[in-house]
Structure 1
Amino acid sequence: MTFWPEFFLIATAHLLAVASPGPDFAIVLRYAVRYGRKTAVYASLGIGCAILLHVTYSLVGIGVLIKTTPWLFQVLSVAAALYLIYLGQGAIRAKAPALHATAELTAKTEDLPKNRAAFTAGFITNGLNPKATLFFLSLFAVVISAQTPFLYKAFYGIYMALATAAWFALLSFLLTQSKVRQFLLAKGFWFDRLMGILLLLLAGHLLLSSFAA
């Protein structure tokens, strides 16, 4: 198979991109801390499925339209920033648990978002992420050869979607281990606030960069 070198290059670039802190990491960390493993895993699956969205528009050529139409990319950036602001302001208002309940703190069942809501949050967070858009545009335009067969490109896309979901699912499991979970639950409101600040900073960065472009 002559395309193994290309695949390894893509896999390495994708690993570095997915492991870097960003909105996806922030949303999974917040869900793991606040709501537990199952909710965080569903958010991870949503992030992974959103990768297929980026791969699809890159394969069918819509990515070229986004790249050559500045105002369209700007609209995408603003939409992403507004969504991050929505998530951030909710996280930053997290309240400290009652002192007497700290040792046995668990998220209330009625407060848990539904699986579909967690999946949707992950999907939208990644789907509207302009950095992910730029990454896949660059990947399919520069790294992946024009001579690479369509089926190989589709395989690359499916791999990156599965690898992304697996990475964040693994992160969800690590963050919800017994001792880690106990600590995070007790101090979870601080992580919520920290993630809220991070999301607001990311939103501000997107707005500044989109209007400066």
Structure 2
Amino acid sequence: MSFWPEFFIIASVHLMAVASPGPDFAIVLRYAVRYGIKVALAASIGIGCAILLHVAYSLIGIGVLIKTTPWLFRLLSLIAAVYLAYIGIQALRATATDNINNIATDHGLNQASLSLKKAFIAGFITNGLNPKATLFFLSLFAVVISASTPFEYKLIYGLYMALATAAWFSFLSVILTRSKVRNFLLAKGYWFDRAMGLLLLALAIHLIISSFT
């Protein structure tokens, strides 16, 4: 298969996967609402960098080990579930601001309460430990990408998906923090926090159940 047809197939499949709601979207939405654009962008870049992790183990063959070792995949799923549950519980503890006139001040304090480094790490871990992302890349490199495709092409595909993922979530971060959207989200942000908390807990429960079925 030549480069461009294969690339367009991969780009299309990746676009559908990255645009679907999941832990990555949940954490970017929560950080955009609660902490602002810089923190959300840091998490988005972390998510994009985690794609390189999936690409790396797919290229060097560790993905085959994960796929053919059920207990290892189950362990990764449980670790991911615990982490998502932790974030979900933190989100459920969100409280309303005392006065809508203090929203801007409260927002500034929230930004200071989470460093860009921590946001980056949270985004990286959320995507890096996501079993759905693991399965996606295992399937992509095993089925969609031809075995005869040169290593250099596969590397280009991986770099593209990492950049495209970071760009997509960065775009969402910008949209979610635009003036009108931002003011609305800040006023009702704790409800979004709690909703995202429930979603993250539901995802964690789903991972635990699916790990033992």
Q: 1 CA distance for matches of 2:24 and 2:94?
A: 19
TM-score, normalised by the number of residues in structure 1 = 0.96
What is aligned with 2:208? 207
CA contact (8 A) 1:102 1:186 kept: no
What is aligned with 1:90? 90
Q: Aligned runs of 1:32-111 on 2, under 5 Å?
A: 32-99=32-99, 101=101, 104=104, 105-108=106-109, 111=112
Q: 1 CA distance for matches of 2:14 and 2:100?
A: 45
Whether 1:183 aligns to 2:184 is yes
Aligned residues: 212
**Paired AA for residue 196 in structure 1:** G
Superposition RMSD in Å: 1.3
Q: 2 CA distance for matches of 1:103 and 1:94?
A: 14
Q: Aligned runs of 1:137-156 on 2, under 5 Å?
A: 137-156=138-157
CA contact (8 A) 1:34 1:107 kept: no
Shift of 1:99: 2.8
Shift of 1:156: 0.1
Q: 2 CA distance for matches of 1:100 and 1:182?
A: 10
Whether 1:164 aligns to 2:165 is yes
Q: 1:110 to 1:19 in 2, by over 3 A?
A: closer
Q: 2 CA distance for matches of 1:97 and 1:177?
A: 20
**Paired AA for residue 143 in structure 2:** V
TM-score, normalised by the number of residues in structure 2 = 0.96
Segments of 5+ residues of structure 2 without an aligned counterpart are: none
Q: 1:109 to 1:85 in 2, by over 3 A?
A: closer
Shift of 1:178: 0.5
**Paired AA for residue 147 in structure 1:** S
| SS across alignment from 1:146 | coil
CA contact (8 A) 2:34 2:186 kept: yes
Whether 1:31 aligns to 2:31 is yes
| SS across alignment from 1:108 | helix
Q: Aligned runs of 1:131-142 on 2, under 5 Å?
A: 131-142=132-143
Shift of 1:110: 6.9
Describe the superposition over 1:162-186 as per-residue Cα deviations: whole angstroms up to 9, x where unpaired: 0000000000000000011001000
Shift of 1:137: 0.1
